[in-house]
Amino acid sequence: MLDEKDWFTEVVDTAGSAFSLRIRRKLHAEQTPYQSIAVYETEHFGNLMVIDGFTMLSSRENFLYHEMLAHPVLFTHPAPRRVCIIGGGDCGTLREVLKHPDVDQVWQVDIDERVTRVAERFFPELTESNADPRAQLLFDDGIRWIRDAEPASLDIIIIDSTDPVGPAEGLFTADFYRNCMAALTEGGLLVQQSESPLYHMDIIAGMVSDLKEAGFSDTRTLFFPQAIYPSGWWSATMARKDRAIGDFRRADVDARPFETRYYNADIHAGALAQPEFFRRRLGGSAR
């Protein structure tokens, strides 16, 4: 919400907390068939995208989320060639995936084309790789697209979704994960943004349970800071088909032919360290 003193505030009633940014002006607002989208110019965080009243990304800090959703899973797979991104309409995750020269093909499937068009206008740095010939942008139902995907056709599935409400709710279910299992190659990996470990442990525990029910052999959760999201502390959960997740390709991370602002081999290793309360809650099931 935007108050009379020009602060945009996202309130989390269940946690008794809120996060605010001082706004200079509203740049854009529209209602799509799926959600409301607004963009504000802030004083210190650049442009801010808000969907259905929830902060999605800002120019200043989005690199944290996009790098941690893309690079850990890509450097964990031994040879990722075919990648699908479900959601991710702002195209920041797509940009990071396309930094990997060995990736041959990326499908991005987001139900709401307007998110991408708004990002092209107000966050052009995120959409700078959209014309890459390896990328195919599809504006479709990601749940249906995965269900209809050719079996064993994808090495990695990245689920870059909003919170598990509304159109994204179906992306957090055992049925959806079963379809992901079928679409993945042997040893294929899935990664999904998995909310705040401080505020949303029920969601993370439910995800891990549903992933195992769907047949995934192993799960690991990574932790990273995310300044504009509730609690400022976020996570992504990986799951692997047919085998343990194992170590990541540290030497390849160190020799990567592209720049990152947050991600490196030490960050990757540190992000896998589990807080004690998390380990106790999941009983060691997510290692």
Give CA angle at 219 (192, 182), nearest 5°.
70
Question: What's the topology of domain 7-58?
Answer: Spermidine Synthase; Chain: A, domain 2 (2.30.140)
Distances (CA, A) of 19 to 7, 55, 198, 226, 228: 10, 9, 15, 12, 7
Residue 62's pLDDT is: 98
Residue 171's pLDDT is: 86
Q: Which top CATH class is 62-282? A: alpha beta
**Per-residue tokens: 225:** 């800071």
Whether 160 sits among the annotated catalytic residues: the reply is: yes
What gap in Å lies between CA 111 and CA 88, rounded to an integer?
A: 10
User: Scanning the structure block, which residue is given the tokens 């047919």?
Assistant: 242
Each residue's pLDDT, cut to its tens digit, for the chain (287 residues) gives 666 569 999 999 999 999 999 999 999 999 999 999 999 999 999 999 999 999 999 999 999 999 999 999 999 999 999 999 999 999 999 999 999 999 999 999 999 999 999 999 999 999 999 999 999 999 999 999 999 999 999 999 999 987 776 667 788 899 999 999 999 999 999 999 999 999 999 999 999 999 999 999 999 999 999 999 999 999 999 999 999 999 999 999 999 999 999 999 999 999 999 999 999 998 754 44
Q: Taking a C-beta distance cutoff of 8 angstroms, is the pair 135, 99 a contact?
A: no
What gap in Å lies between CA 50 and CA 39, rounded to an integer?
A: 6
User: Catalytic residue among 90, 112, 160, 210, which?
Assistant: 160
Domain boundaries, the chain: 7-58, 62-282
